[in-house]
Amino acid sequence: MIFYLIAFGIVVTAILTIASRNSVVSALWLVACLFAQAILMVTLEAHLVAAMQVLLYAGAIMVLILFVIMLLNLTPKELKWKFIAGERLILGSGVIYLAGVMGLALWIIYKKGASFVPAAGGGTAGTVEAVGKLLLTKYALPFELVSVTLLVAIVGAILTGRGK
Amino acid sequence: MYSLVIDIIKVIVIASAVLTLIPVLIWWERKGAAYIQDRRGPNRANIFGIRLGGLIHNIADVFKLLFKEDIIPQQAHKLIYLIAPIIVMGVAVSTLAVIPFTAPVKLGDFVIKMQIADLNVGIIYILAIASLGVYGVILAGWSSNNVYSLFGGLRSSAQMISYEVAMGLALLSVIMSSGTVRLDEIAALQGINILEWNFIRQPLAFILFLTCLFAETNRNPFDLPEGESELVAGYHTEYSSMKFALFFMAEYAHIIVGSMILVSLFFGGWQIPFLSTEFMHDNMNALLKLALPVVSVSSIAAGVLLMRRTKKFGWGDARDFEPLVFGLPAVIFGFIIGIAAVFSIYLNEYAVSIITAAAQGAIFLVKTLFFCWLFIWVRWTLPRFRYDQLMKLGWQIMVPLALINIIITGIVISR
Amino acid sequence: MEYIVLSVIIFCIGVAGILLRRNLIIILMSVELMLSASNISFVAFSKMHGNLDGQAVVLLLYVLAACEAAVGLAIIVGLFRLKGSVDIQLFRDLKK
């Protein structure tokens, strides 16, 4: 029951994100959507992930996007909703894409018979200790590689954003 | 079922206690500023001549703010304009959820944790909620549709993002040396020995965290977002009436909550120096025999000293009897405590637990109020940074220092 | 599995945003939406199989999302400097 409530909230805020005229309002709906996702993750006992979702997504990335929107000082004319040319084609292909992905997901669920396996020993709560240990043992190499990606992204962002 | 009731009681008690501290802090700021600047501070507002040393000014302020016209600028984005102060205040108060106020209280079989939510993400929750505080400020600045407000909001968001990095890195070394992210465990681990508290173990982290706290609360010397000589009043220029009051109160709520976090992390939280919970629990009657007479005598003495000022100035109206407001209750309280000390009431186990918790809560409050005073003291003593100096301090000094601190901590704890 | 269906719906809303909107910043936000949809399914799978690998991967994904946002915003700021607008239809040339 509580899942459907949260899921409804997530879907509505996601639709409002892409449908809002004003990009600041749009960014705020995305923040609300990410926050609702964090609540969903708490119900899935992924506490660390939920906290990181708020800290990184809502707290850092979205603030950066809002900051850029305000820095560019977009005039209201530019913030208006407009379709790209050939809207029918795009809408049609979008619907086909949606149907395809949804069908694929449902087919996999049907085929694999995916269902919740009861937790072995109840050790699935995503606490800081458990996830942190996994991240620094089994996923140590991806963890280090991701830090390299971060460095590359910083250098790339500075080089791209630097004026002439 | 019981736990739900206890949780609701905890939320109500703790939230109302902190909200009551806000007017006290506002009064303290005005009086402190006055004495630092060698003047008397607010002392005119009164109810029938009772002034309580300027505390009545807060009530006058509340009435002024309630009855002021509530202006919404025509070009403002109405909804966001309304939401922004709510976000600021909500963020300031919801951080309270993970702060431990006393040691867990044992009542028979019950163990009540004096913490609203015992989350296993502890400090990360605080950082996450604190990072949402930027929204209130940046949206208030943007939705007012005022250039000064927008500049204030942008400055503040850049400042808060920058100092959040240093704050997180400073906290990392504390987490590393404690081996946990739960605030109650960090507070408990520090023990009763002052020399083992984290501000001795992690002095650099303490200084960095304190500096970041000043930046996060937008207080002097980091109050550029609302620097009145450049930006009128920064992000809340266009706000009036109770919406302004929310920003004003949120600033003090931030100070209180920030001080509480600082105390929990670095100053032993609820730990009373050299008196452990078990020791207090076992020797409560002896301790009370020592403490009660002292409290009684000092309370009576203070009350009598205050009451001697009655009719001293000879105004001929209600002001003559003002010292009685505090003097008489202090004397009566002193006598009651004295009678209790003489007859040495027998305390059962529950009462001992509750008194222990009350003592720990009181010491927590004293530590918190000391840091609140530090915020006020610094505000009226130091000048404001220039913006480039602020950014340079954040990124070129604090972040490298925090990283060095992490490396040193890592070397020390891996030995 | 409601969680997977929810994840797919969010993902498709993100795709729709990319296809329908012309504002570059909203397109970037749609990409973030798609990434967050994948996070939901990772956490749901982690719960489903009773181990924490999914959650560890999500934490790595957050870093990638941050990288993507930083580089994307830098590109948007650069494009804005070029044309004075973030309308995607203005950017048709392969070179200046």
Residue A125 pLDDT level (bands cut at 50, 70, 90): confident
Residue A86 pLDDT level (bands cut at 50, 70, 90): low
Q: What is the pTM of this model?
A: 0.85
A95 vs C63 pLDDT, higher one: C63
Domain span at residue B225? Answer: 2-271+354-414
Flag if B125 and A51 touch (Cβ within 8 Å).
Answer: yes
Instruction: Give the chain C residue whose CA is nearest to the CA of A153.
Output: C67
Half-sphere exposure in the Cβ direction for A32 (13 Å, CA): 21
Q: Is residue B393 part of a domain?
A: yes
Asked if residue A79 has pLDDT above 60, the reply is no
Mutate to test the interface with A, among C30, C34, C49, C67 (most CBs of A within 10 A): C67
Of A22, A53, A79, which residue sits at a domain end?
A79
Same domain, A69 and A141: no
CB contacts, 8 Å: B150 with chain A: 70
Flag if B157 and A28 touch (Cβ within 8 Å).
Answer: no
Mutate to test the interface with C, among A49, A88, A155 (most CBs of C within 10 A): A49
Residue B280 in contact with residue B359, Cβ under 8 Å?
yes
Same domain, A5 and A64: yes
Asked if residue A116 has pLDDT above 80, the reply is no
Same domain, B33 and B91: yes
Q: Is residue A143 part of a domain?
A: yes
User: Residue B322 and residue B320: Cα distance in Å, rounded?
Assistant: 6
Count of domains for chain A: 2
Mean pLDDT of chain A: 79
Of B375, B383, B382, B390, the residue nearest B155 (C-alpha) = B390
CB contacts, 8 Å: A39 with chain B: none
Q: Compute chain B's Rg from CA coordinates.
A: 24
Flag if A90 and C48 touch (Cβ within 8 Å).
Answer: no
Residue C96 pLDDT level (bands cut at 50, 70, 90): low
Mean predicted confidence (pLDDT) in A136-159: 89
Flag if A60 and B153 touch (Cβ within 8 Å).
Answer: no
User: How far apart are the CA of B291 and the nearest CA of chain A, in angstroms?
Assistant: 43
Tens digit of each residue's pLDDT (9 = 90 or more) over B28-66: 888 888 888 888 878 777 777 677 777 888 888 888 888
Q: Is residue A116 part of a domain?
A: no
Report pLDDT for B79. 84
Partner residue facing B142 (CB), from A24, A125, A127: A24
Residue B108 in contact with residue B21, Cβ under 8 Å?
no
User: Residue B298 and residue A3: Cα distance in Å, rounded?
Assistant: 59
Mean pLDDT of chain B: 82
Tens digit of each residue's pLDDT (9 = 90 or more) over A20-69: 777 888 888 999 999 899 998 888 888 888 888 888 888 888 888 888 88
Tokens of residue B276, six digits: 């452990």
User: Residue B394 and residue B388: Cα distance in Å, rounded?
Assistant: 10
Report pLDDT for B404. 92
User: Residue A24 and residue A17: Cα distance in Å, rounded?
Assistant: 10
Of B347, B376, B405, which residue sits at a domain end?
B347
Cis peptide before B225 (omega within 30 of 0): no
Mean predicted confidence (pLDDT) in A77-102: 68
Please state which of the ranges B12-21, B169-178, B279-288, B311-320 shows the lowest mean pLDDT: B311-320
Q: Is residue A63 part of a domain?
A: yes
Flag if C69 and A61 touch (Cβ within 8 Å).
Answer: yes
Report pLDDT for A128. 81
User: Residue C76 and residue C86: Cα distance in Å, rounded?
Assistant: 7
Residue B42 in contact with residue B30, Cβ under 8 Å?
yes
CB contacts, 8 Å: A71 with chain B: 154
Residue B236 in contact with residue B140, Cβ under 8 Å?
yes
Tokens of residue C50, six digits: 């009773």
Indicate the SS3 state at residue B65.
helix
A105 vs A149 pLDDT, higher one: A149
Of B285, B297, B271, B293, the residue nearest B192 (C-alpha) = B271
At position B386, the amino acid (one-letter code) is R
Same domain, B366 and B405: yes
Question: What string of H, E and C letters represents the secondary structure of B329-391?
Answer: HHHHHHHHHHHHHHHCCCCCHHHHHHHHHHHHHHHHHHHHHHHHHHHHHHHCCCCCCCHHHHH
State the CATH number of the domain containing residue A35: 1.20.120.1200
User: Residue B387 and residue C29: Cα distance in Å, rounded?
Assistant: 30
Instruction: Give the chain B residue whose CA is nearest to the CA of A56.
Output: B128
Residue A11 in contact with residue C6, Cβ under 8 Å?
yes
Of C5, C68, B122, the residue nearest A110 (C-alpha) = C5
User: Residue B77 and residue C73: Cα distance in Å, rounded?
Assistant: 25
Q: Is residue A97 part of a domain?
A: no
Same domain, B221 and B178: yes
Of B320, B47, B374, the residue nearest B206 (C-alpha) = B374
Contacts 24+ apart (CB under 8 A), C40-45: C40/A37, C40/A40, C40/A41, C40/C3, C40/C6, C40/C7, C40/C10, C41/C3, C41/C4, C41/C7, C43/A41, C43/A44, C43/A46, C43/A49, C43/A126, C44/A44, C44/C1, C44/C3, C44/C4, C44/C7
Neighbours of chain C (3+ CB pairs under 8 A): A
Tokens of residue A149, six digits: 């990606």
Residue A121 pLDDT level (bands cut at 50, 70, 90): very low
Tens digit of each residue's pLDDT (9 = 90 or more) over B354-364: 888 888 888 88
Indicate the SS3 state at residue C35.
helix
**Range among B30-44, B100-114, B326-340, C29-43 with highest mean pLDDT value:** C29-43
Same domain, B190 and B286: no
CB contacts, 8 Å: A139 with chain C: 53, 56-57, 60
Same domain, A8 and A70: yes
Q: Compute chain A's Rg from CA coordinates.
A: 20
**Does residue C66 belong to the interface with chain A, where contact is any CB pair within 8 Å?**
yes
Domain span at residue A154? Answer: 127-164
Which DSSP letter does residue A73 get?
A: T
Mean pLDDT of chain C: 83
User: Residue A18 and residue A16: Cα distance in Å, rounded?
Assistant: 6
List all residues 6 or more positions away from A96 whose beta carbon is below 8 Å from its beta carbon: none
**Range among A150-164, B153-167, C58-72 with highest mean pLDDT value:** C58-72
Instruction: Give the chain A residue whose CA is nearest to the CA of B119.
Output: A47
Instruction: Give the chain B residue whose CA is nearest to the CA of A47.
Output: B121
Percent of all residues in chain B with a pLDDT value above 70, rounded to a whole number? 94
A61 vs A93 pLDDT, higher one: A61
Between the CA of residue B140 and those of A10, B78, B133, B205, B244, what are the distances in Å?
A: 25, 11, 11, 32, 11
User: Residue B372 and residue B23: Cα distance in Å, rounded?
Assistant: 13
- What is the CATH architecture of C2-90? Orthogonal Bundle (1.10)
| Size of chain C in residues | 96
Residue C33 in contact with residue C14, Cβ under 8 Å?
yes
Q: Is residue B319 part of a domain?
A: yes
Q: Is residue B276 part of a domain?
A: no
Q: Which spans in B179-312 are helix H?
A: 183-189, 198-201, 203-216, 228-231, 241-266, 277-282, 284-307
At position A164, the amino acid (one-letter code) is K
Indicate the SS3 state at residue C96.
coil
List all residues 6 or more positions away from B81 whose beta carbon is below 8 Å from its beta carbon: B72, B73, B140, B143, B144, B238
Tens digit of each residue's pLDDT (9 = 90 or more) over B298-343: 888 888 887 777 777 666 666 677 777 777 888 888 888 888 777 7
Asked if residue A146 has pLDDT above 80, the reply is yes
Tokens of residue A55, six digits: 């800290």
| Residues in a beta bridge with B105 | B112
CB contacts, 8 Å: B80 with chain A: 24-25, 28
Tokens of residue B54, six digits: 């300027």
- Please count the other Cβ atoms lying within 10 Å of the Cβ belonging to residue B374: 16
Which DSSP letter does residue B105 get?
A: E
Indicate the SS3 state at residue B314.
coil
Count of domains for chain B: 2
Residue A148 pLDDT level (bands cut at 50, 70, 90): very high
Q: Is residue A117 part of a domain?
A: no
Residue A91 pLDDT level (bands cut at 50, 70, 90): confident
Flag if C50 and A119 touch (Cβ within 8 Å).
Answer: yes
Residue A151 pLDDT level (bands cut at 50, 70, 90): very high
Of A48, C79, A24, C48, the residue nearest B125 (C-alpha) = A48
Report pLDDT for A124. 66
Same domain, B399 and B326: no
Same domain, B233 and B374: yes
First to last CA, chain B: 47
Same domain, B195 and B316: no
User: Residue B314 and residue B317: Cα distance in Å, rounded?
Assistant: 8
- DSSP per residue, B109-178: TEEE-SSS---TTHHHHHHHHHHHHHHHHHHHHHHTT-HHHHHHHHHHHHHHHHHHHHHHHHHHHHHHHH
C65 vs B223 pLDDT, higher one: C65
Percent of all residues in chain B with a pLDDT value above 90, rounded to a whole number? 1
B245 vs A109 pLDDT, higher one: B245
Same domain, B122 and B231: yes
Between the CA of residue A11 and those of A8, A30, B130, B373, C13, what are the distances in Å?
A: 5, 11, 26, 47, 8
Q: Is residue A149 part of a domain?
A: yes
